[in-house]
Amino acid sequence: MVLKDAGVNFMLGGAFAVYHYTGWWRSTHDIDIYITVDQLDVAKSALAAAGFEDLGEQAKGDREWIYHAGKNSILIDVIYRFANLANYVHPDWFTRAPTGRFLDIDVMFLPLEELIWIKIFVINRHRCDWPDIMRLIRAQCGNLNWNRLIDILGEHWLLLEGLICVFDWTNPGSMDCIPDQIRDELAKRHAVYHMNPVDIDREHLLDPWLYQRADKYVVRRNE
C-alpha cells in the first residue's frame, strides 16, 4: 500500500475493522484510514503520487476532519478527527492497535474501544452505527475494556448507557457480555444526572456531517 511505503503510520477503521473483530462482512464503498493530523500532508502526497485524485469536500466542513481521495472505483477516506469534531486521533491509539492482514499486507486496526468511541456518535436519521457496536460487543464478549471505554467517553457516557439498553433488548442472550459493575456504575451516574441535569444541546455531536450529505429520499419528500 502506498501509504505504508511512504512511512505513514495508519490504522484501518470502518467496515474492515468491524470485520477484523467480528468476522462479519458487509459491503462498503470506501476504505477508512485513520492517522494523526501531523501525518496528513505526507498521506496526501503519497496518494497523489499513486494517482489518487483529491475529491474535495463532499459536505461543508470535511477539511476539518477527513480527506477524500479516489482512483477509478477505489475510494479512500483519510480520517484524523471525529466527524463531530469532538476529538482527534491520538498517537497512543497506535500503541494499542492490533495487527492483522488486509489485502495481503500486515496492517493495524483501530483499537476496539476507540472504534466503539467513534461509532457511538453515529446515530441520526441517515445512518446509525450502533448495530456495528452491538456486533462488536457480542463477538468480543469478555475482551472489551469497559472501564477504559467509559473513561474515554468522558461526559458522553450516557450514550453508552443508552446503547446498552438497546443491546439488552436486541440481544437478551448476550446480556452477560456487559459486566454488572459497569451497569451499576452507569446507573449511579444516571441517578445523579437525573437529579442535576446539565442543560447542554448535544444534538450537533451526532455525526453532523451525515446530516448534510445528499439524500434522495429527503429531496423527494422535502422533509
Domains of the chain with bracketed CATH: 2-205 (3.30.460.40)
Length of the chain: 223
Q: Are 210 and 126 in contact (CB under 8 A)?
A: yes
Q: Which residue has the cell 446507573?
A: 187
pLDDT higher than 70, residue 210: no
Per-residue pLDDT band for 39 (boundaries 50, 70, 90) equals very high
Average pLDDT in the 76-102 region? 95
DSSP string covering 23-75:
------SSEEEE--GGGHHHHHHHHHHTT-EE---SSTTGGGTEEEEEETTEE
pLDDT mean over 10-15 = 96
Q: Which grid coordinates belong to 30?
A: 470506501
What would the pLDDT profile of 126-175 be if each residue is shown by its tens digit?
789 999 999 999 999 999 999 999 999 999 999 999 999 999 999 999 99
